[in-house]
A and B are shown apart, each in its own frame.
Chain A
Amino acid sequence: MLCDACKKNEATYHTIRQYNGIKTETHLCSECRRKFVTGGKSDFANAFFSDFSSAFGTAKKKRVCRECGTTEEEFLNTGYVGCENCYKEFANLILPRVSQMQQGLIHVGKMPSVAASTVEGEYARLKAELKKAVDAEDYERAAKINLKLKKLKNESQGV
């Protein structure tokens, strides 16, 4: 299969994505991938490159992360954030796209032991589990988790 971009080399990078039911395929040779995808940009920037420029092309790009100095423009160009605070600073840019390309916007996987040991952490974990149960239409399980959540809430208020 030939590269989509140069139509000369054999494509060695194949990507299939499904966003909201729309399937897109990309086939690139490593040269073109380096040129178009990597070249200092993350996959994230690449996936939404045209999106970003059309939606924010001429709009004000004034925001700057107070913690690390990453500018809005810098983020839009590279797709990389500079620190954890950037996720707060640029939330309105990042989250809609993340929800499109990811399975959802709520983490349901492993938690660091420090976070998991706090009441808030446990609460968040249960809430995520609850969402999963509801999504899977497992209402019996959802009811059980709900009960645990209530108990946790009462306990933490008691302290």
Chain B
Amino acid sequence: MTENMKDSVISTRVRLARNLKGIPFPSKIGAGQANVVAGKVYEALGKGYKLYNIARLNESEAGALVEKHLISKELVASCPFGSVIVGDDETLSVMLNEEDHVREQVILSGLKLEEAYRLVDGLDDRIGENAQFAFSERLGYLTACPTNLGTGMRASVMMFLPALTITDTLMQSVNALGMLNIALRGVYGEGSDAIGFIYQISNRRTLGLTENDILGLVRTAVNHLSEAEERAREFLIATREISVKDEIMRAYGIAANAYRLSNQELIRYFAFIKLGAYYKLIPVKRVFALDELMTSLQPYNLISAADRPLNTPEERDVYRAECVREALKEIVG
């Protein structure tokens, strides 16, 4: 079984937090010093990368970067000197003057912890050649928040866990991981519930263990949850076959035919279409195409890619439905 076959894993992200020696951390930094930070890091990378000053982006440009997980909401909302460097293929990015001076990250689709670390490690080496990091032999990389000390590393995996959510056994499975000190967070759940059944699993500890240790424990957690999810899916179809099938086929029916689709509906229906693909009720050719499509249909990405101005929610819902109808013809069949 290749890693890509598991639809319970959507993507892998590895992030390293760094600060530059001799410059106050972002909460105490001035505009001039913030520019020095951005300059040094950008200089180290150069060709193949673009630097964006967040203050100079408009709302939808910044929002599109957040939806692609290239920058955090906090960088836009509360970092006056924030900027970001994005690699041409949008795999590598570096946030500047967010909580720390430098947040290097790599996002890859599927479960690719080692590869993601290898890439971000290389990026870190290049930046480290041009800028001296704040580092203590005892505490490792010095970060603005002590929760990131040591490796400064957060390895996270985005997972699709519908059956564990529906059968209400997710926390039970996470509990079994107690000793690993893993954090779990719902991704698309503003206020209400985890509508897309998508969660982020990441390490809590950063100091006193190596980068490889961290990758190993996140991998263990992910494998454990994937297996639990698989068992829960079998249980679900065995115990509630009609309602599961009904829910899936209704979701597909609406998504493929609707002329108006809100983002909340999109997230929910896509989750059920993916589940339908798993149960072979819907012939989806590439499950990852659904994940990519979902990102491209998030509000700000939708606006920036549209062939016409989308000024009202109504216009966006109509355009979203149009995109979904077209895309599903390609992806399913």
A residues with a Cβ closer than 8 A to B are 1, 9-18, 23, 25, 27, 29-31, 42-44, 47, 67-70, 78-84, 87, 94, 97-98, 101-115, 120-121, 124-125
Verify A124–B138 contact, CB threshold 8 A: yes
Chain A residues with CB under 8 Å of B178's CB are 16, 18, 23
- Which among B51-59, B121-129, B253-261, B320-328 touches the partner chain? B121-129
**Residue ID in chain B nearest A75 by CB atoms:** B146
Some 28 contacts from A to B, beta carbons below 8 A apart, are: A10-B192, A10-B194, A14-B170, A15-B184, A16-B174, A16-B178, A16-B181, A18-B178, A25-B175, A30-B186, A42-B145, A81-B146, A82-B25, A82-B27, A83-B23, A84-B25, A101-B147, A101-B204, A103-B205, A103-B207, A106-B207, A107-B140, A107-B149, A107-B151, A108-B208, A108-B209, A109-B140, A111-B137
- Measured in the bound complex, the distance between the Cα atoms of B191 and A32 in whole Å is 9
Verify A102–B207 contact, CB threshold 8 A: yes
Task: Pick from B149, B174, B190 the residue with the most CB of A within 10 Å.
Answer: B149
Verify A12–B138 contact, CB threshold 8 A: no
Interface size class, chain B = 35 or more
Chain B residues with CB under 8 Å of A112's CB are 128, 132-133, 135, 141
B residues with a Cβ closer than 8 A to A are 19, 21, 23-25, 27-28, 99, 121, 124-125, 128-129, 132-142, 144-147, 149-151, 153, 168, 170-171, 174-175, 177-179, 181-186, 189-194, 204-211
- Measured in the bound complex, the distance between the Cα atoms of B206 and A104 in whole Å is 10
Chain B residues with CB under 8 Å of A15's CB are 183-184
Q: Which 7 A-B pairs have the closest CB atoms?
A: A103-B208, A107-B140, A12-B186, A104-B208, A124-B137, A10-B193, A12-B189
Chain A residues with CB under 8 Å of B186's CB are 11-14, 30
Verify A68–B24 contact, CB threshold 8 A: yes
Verify B146–A79 contact, CB threshold 8 A: yes
Total A-B contacts with CB atoms under 8 angstroms apart: 171
- Smallest Cβ distance from B157 to chain A, in angstroms? 15
**B134, B181, B191, B209: which contacts A84 (Cβ < 8 A)?**
B134
**B139, B147, B151: which contacts A87 (Cβ < 8 A)?**
B139
Verify B208–A97 contact, CB threshold 8 A: no
With A80-B27, A84-B21 as known contacts, state yes or no: A120 contacts B208, CB within 8 Å.
no
